[in-house]
Chain A
Amino acid sequence: MRRRTLIAGLPWLIASPTLAARAESATRVAAHWPFTEGDTEGRAQAAAFGAALQDRGETDRQLVNRWGGADRERTRALSADLVRSKPQVIFPYLPARLRAVSPLIHTIPIVFVGAADPVGNGFVANRKRPGGNIAGFTLSESSLGGKWLAALRGGVPAIRRVTLLRNASSQIRGGHLFTKALEKTAAALAIETSVEVAERSGDIEPLIADLAWRKDAALIVAPGVFSAVNGSRLVALTTEHRIPTVFAIRRFAHRGGLISYGPDPAEAVRRASVYVERILRGDNPGTLPIQAPNQLKPVVNPVTARAQGLEIPSALLAQADEVVE
């Protein structure tokens, strides 16, 4: 009888340290968002991520959301703090957070969403086998620079000038991520291009004013934290000044932007949750390939077009996945 008790007790003896360890680091996934706490978009993304994790059997309780906003210093401090808390997986959304976190830690797995060129930026060795502690999903392709311009031209054939408003974070070796494709297409379409870097929200208004003054000018808002944070303001200003604008971030077409052409971030977040879950179950992030977005969906807002006095050609409407009414 004693022997049986002893044997019955053994599993508990073995299990107890594991249980204790589990109890210590209740935070298994730390998500690092570029939004401020209370931001609707941020909340929606975080909720989607939490729900996706929950669907895959990871309880919401073990997910901690950190809200760093767009502020660079705050992001850095929060990243250090986040690494110190030793979560099991870090989930940085958009490249600035990946850039802040990745130098700090090489042991905790990181699943990112949004780094456009992870190989070019040195985050991973190659796309098939990242090799390190980082895996994730890209949201944009460099070739999109040309596509955005083509979409803009398809919607508003009259434009002669286009300005790419880019984020400081999308700097790559030898220039800017989208510039090359943009310039190539612009040359083919005989359109004059310029690239503006916005770092502060105060930079927006002079730029818009400048574009408004030129009449035949259009604006491309490249993806990035700055765009995400100031997107609504850009929508308001461009609509007000009747500047045809294409947004890389989909949601701004819904909020009044003329056209958006970009991936569905919710889809990327959902797929990233799969990686997170697999890593939690023991997969090595170094073996999980970097994935590109499956779908790039054009969204057209005819309401805005009408407000700007523009007529959207049927070719563009046919191309659009969504038409905002």
Chain B
Amino acid sequence: MTKLNPPQNAPQKYFRLPLAAKFAVAFVGLVTLVLFINGAVDLVLNFQEAKDNAITVQREKAHAAAESVEAFVSEIENQIGWTTRAEWRRISPEQQRYDFIRLMRQAPAITEVSYLDPSGREQLRVSRLESDVIASGKDFSTAPRFTQALKDKTWFGPVYFRRGSEPYMTVAVAHAGRDPGVTVAEVNLKLIWDVVSAIHNGETGYAFVTTATGRLIAHPDLSLVLRDTDLSTLPEVAAALPGKGDGRTIEITSWLDGSLVLAAHDAVPRLGWIVFVQLPLREAMQPLMESVIQTVALMGLGVLMAAIAGTFLARRMVVPIRQLEEGAERFGAGDLSERIVIRTGDEIETLAHRFNAMAARIQESYETLEAKVEERTRDLNQSLDDLQKTQSRLVQSEKLASLGQLTAGIAHEIKNPLNFVNNFAALSKELVDELCEMLQSAALDPETRAEADEVADLLRGNLDKVVQHGKRADSIVKNMLLHSRTGSGDHRPVDINLLVEESLNLAYHGARAAKPSFNVTLERDFDPAAGSADIYPQEITRVLLNLMSNGFYATERKLEQAEPGYAPTLSISTRDRGQAVEIRVRDNGTGIPDGVKAKMFDPFFTTKPAGEGTGLGLSLSHDILVKQHGGSVDVATEAGQFTEFTIALPRQGAATVARPNAGGPESDTQSPS
């Protein structure tokens, strides 16, 4: 099995991201994205909500601040109200002064208070800084503090600065009743500082107050007020100023120092002032910032957990894949004995099962293949052995063929002298007989006569032996000639039953001739329908003789084992098989052992003692039946019981089968030999 080479065309420098990393990146990325979107949406909503809430709160604070500023001014107005009773101008100047002193004691913001009589002339002025002035007669009849106060009952003057840096406002309140006077108070607006400072707005938020023109009146940082700061350039102030503003409300803006603040404002309509409330954006957005920090922290935590979980899952996922890879590598390297064990219960496990099944299948085919190879090898070895055997047999038969020719030549040469020997031996015997007759007539002494008779008998005996052995030699030679003869005559239609009967008689008498004590029961079962077949009669006769003499031999052998009550029997039967004729030769002799059965049609195989058989009988018979006649021969046997040869001869067998060119069947009529 060859090892799989990695694909050669794979890009070498391309960075290969491991599956686990891809999975982890995808997982973490997805989680991060989801968290990010969630956080962003959350933040946007939170921001809007926090801002709206903060703005709402700021508006309320602004409203409250405006109310406190108005309350401050209203308080002063109320205090002044003590001096605006209708009958107040009719009390004594001393009492008026005393009232003013009390007023200033009650209202610390009032630095100076004066009384203008109904004609607009100053009748009394009491100041914290200066000595009191009584009846100065200064004419204010055309001043706004007088005219506007009479008109509107209360007049709030513009903010002005005393001593360079102190913000002041004039408040004029008209007296009650007909033809009233006016009480005018100079109010130190620094005192609003207490009010404004007391407005608490978160931790660092504050309020401030501007005039309708944007000048700063009150601010927790008093120095800004004292500097007479104009805030009308600030966007939120500009937007809030009457007439200038375009109606917009600036919610987030920058203060003088550039820091971002959340601003809201409310007007004090009586004074035309605007109260602003500001909260540094940082503080206003503190809950939001906490929420942002929380969100970011949660997001970070989420990403961290996702990273851990992603890495863990990716590793978990990759472990079985690694196992799969290792298993596949083992399979690839040819180790099919081990199996991939994955228990993940998912597709990877299925894949592992598929791999295992594949490996099992490969292993199975591998083993089958080996078995087949072994079998084939065995077959080949067998064939080789057979081939070698056949080869040696061929060599042998070639030898025999040449031996046959030699034998034929020799036999022919021997036959002539042998004829002489036989003829002359027979003639000599007759001559001995004639000699004896001649001596009968001749008178001889009895002793001589006796000796002559004795010699004559001896001669006669010797000559008989010569004749006997000569005939034997003649038979041998004749057989040799038969064996080496190449041809066997022509084929012709022959009556099978007749042929079998002739052959049986021949065989029986042959056997009886060879051994006079031989006895066997012959059973004949001829099918009258057997009819005739086109055969070589001479050859078939030889085959039948061979088989019959083998049967006689087997019965004889069994008889030798002296089994009492044994009756040697040879059964011959013929049958019509349509296009063929069947001949059976059955004996109840020794049978053929299995070891012999396989080899019995081999040439030169014989079970007879050396010198009794050539081992060619059955071999020749096989050739004659199968090759010459296109028939078949089968044997059924049981050791110690019987042997039955079944011959099937096609009726047109000899006519259809081409006569073999080389080595035609030699005659072996000399039955079991």
Closest 6 A/B residue pairs (Cβ)? A150-B131, A127-B164, A289-B226, A146-B131, A127-B165, A185-B131
Are A287 and B223 touching (Cβ within 8 A)?
yes
* Contacting residues of chain A (169-193) with chain B, CB-CB under 8 angstroms: 181, 185, 188-189
Query: Of B94, B105, B190, B226, which is within 8 A of A128 by CB?
Result: B226
Measured in the bound complex, the distance between the Cα atoms of B96 and A318 in whole Å is 13
Q: Residues on A close to B: CB < 8 A?
A: 119, 126-129, 141, 143-144, 146-147, 149-150, 181, 185, 188-189, 275, 278, 287-292, 294-296, 314-315, 318-319, 321
B519 within 8 A of A: no
B158 within 8 A of A: no
| Best-surrounded residue of B94, B127, B165 (most CB of chain A within 10 A) | B165
For residue B598, give the distance in angstroms from its CB to the closest CB of chain A. Answer: 92
Are A296 and B105 touching (Cβ within 8 A)?
no
Are B223 and A318 touching (Cβ within 8 A)?
no
For residue B195, give the distance in angstroms from its CB to the closest CB of chain A. Answer: 14
Are B227 and A129 touching (Cβ within 8 A)?
yes
Are B101 and A315 touching (Cβ within 8 A)?
yes
For residue B452, give the distance in angstroms from its CB to the closest CB of chain A. Answer: 152
Q: Is the interface of B mostly helix, strand, loop or mixed?
A: mixed
Measured in the bound complex, the distance between the Cα atoms of B165 and A129 in whole Å is 9
B191 within 8 A of A: yes
- B102: nearest chain-A partner, CB-CB: A318
Query: Of A119, A150, A289, A318, which is within 8 A of B227 by CB?
Result: A289
Measured in the bound complex, the distance between the Cα atoms of B221 and A278 in whole Å is 10
* Contacting residues of chain B (65-122) with chain A, CB-CB under 8 angstroms: 94, 97-98, 101-102, 104-105, 108
B474 within 8 A of A: no
Are A292 and B227 touching (Cβ within 8 A)?
no
B132 within 8 A of A: yes
B128 within 8 A of A: yes
Measured in the bound complex, the distance between the Cα atoms of B165 and A318 in whole Å is 30
Q: Residues on B close to A: CB < 8 A?
A: 94, 97-98, 101-102, 104-105, 108, 127-133, 161, 163-166, 188, 190-191, 222-223, 226-228
Measured in the bound complex, the distance between the Cα atoms of B132 and A128 in whole Å is 28
Measured in the bound complex, the distance between the Cα atoms of B535 and A302 in whole Å is 186
When distances are taken between beta carbons in the complex, the residues of chain A under 8 Å from B227 are: 128-129, 287, 289
For residue B241, give the distance in angstroms from its CB to the closest CB of chain A. Answer: 22
Given contacts A128-B228, A287-B227, A292 and B165 within 8 Å (CB-CB): yes
For residue A277, give the distance in angstroms from its CB to the closest CB of chain B. Answer: 12
Are A291 and B102 touching (Cβ within 8 A)?
no
Measured in the bound complex, the distance between the Cα atoms of B103 and A25 in whole Å is 51
| A-B residue pairs in contact (CB < 8 Å), sample of 19 | A127-B165, A128-B228, A143-B127, A181-B130, A181-B131, A185-B131, A188-B131, A188-B133, A275-B223, A288-B223, A291-B223, A291-B226, A292-B166, A294-B190, A295-B108, A296-B129, A315-B94, A318-B98, A318-B101
| Best-surrounded residue of B104, B128, B228 (most CB of chain A within 10 A) | B128
When distances are taken between beta carbons in the complex, the residues of chain A under 8 Å from B161 are: 128
Given contacts A291-B222, A318-B101, A296 and B128 within 8 Å (CB-CB): yes
For residue B550, give the distance in angstroms from its CB to the closest CB of chain A. Answer: 109
Are A150 and B132 touching (Cβ within 8 A)?
yes
Query: Of B98, B127, B130, B188, which is within 8 A of A294 by CB?
Result: B188
Measured in the bound complex, the distance between the Cα atoms of B161 and A7 in whole Å is 54
Measured in the bound complex, the distance between the Cα atoms of B161 and A316 in whole Å is 29
When distances are taken between beta carbons in the complex, the residues of chain B under 8 Å from A290 are: 164-165, 226
Measured in the bound complex, the distance between the Cα atoms of B161 and A126 in whole Å is 13
- A289: nearest chain-B partner, CB-CB: B226
Are A144 and B98 touching (Cβ within 8 A)?
no
Are B165 and A289 touching (Cβ within 8 A)?
yes
For residue B221, give the distance in angstroms from its CB to the closest CB of chain A. Answer: 9
Measured in the bound complex, the distance between the Cα atoms of B191 and A294 in whole Å is 8
Are B105 and A318 touching (Cβ within 8 A)?
yes
When distances are taken between beta carbons in the complex, the residues of chain B under 8 Å from A181 are: 130-131
When distances are taken between beta carbons in the complex, the residues of chain B under 8 Å from A127 are: 163-165, 226
Query: Of A188, A291, A294, which is within 8 A of B165 by CB?
Result: A291
For residue B393, give the distance in angstroms from its CB to the closest CB of chain A. Answer: 95
For residue A273, give the distance in angstroms from its CB to the closest CB of chain B. Answer: 14
When distances are taken between beta carbons in the complex, the residues of chain B under 8 Å from A318 are: 98, 101-102, 105
When distances are taken between beta carbons in the complex, the residues of chain B under 8 Å from A321 are: 105
Are A128 and B98 touching (Cβ within 8 A)?
no
When distances are taken between beta carbons in the complex, the residues of chain A under 8 Å from B108 are: 294-295
Are B164 and A141 touching (Cβ within 8 A)?
no
Measured in the bound complex, the distance between the Cα atoms of B164 and A291 in whole Å is 9
- B222: nearest chain-A partner, CB-CB: A291
Measured in the bound complex, the distance between the Cα atoms of B131 and A149 in whole Å is 8
Given contacts A128-B164, A147-B129, 20 further A-B contacts (CB under 8 A): A126-B164, A127-B164, A128-B161, A128-B228, A141-B129, A146-B131, A147-B128, A147-B130, A147-B131, A149-B131, A150-B131, A181-B131, A188-B133, A287-B227, A289-B227, A290-B226, A292-B165, A294-B191, A296-B129, A321-B105
When distances are taken between beta carbons in the complex, the residues of chain B under 8 Å from A296 are: 128-129
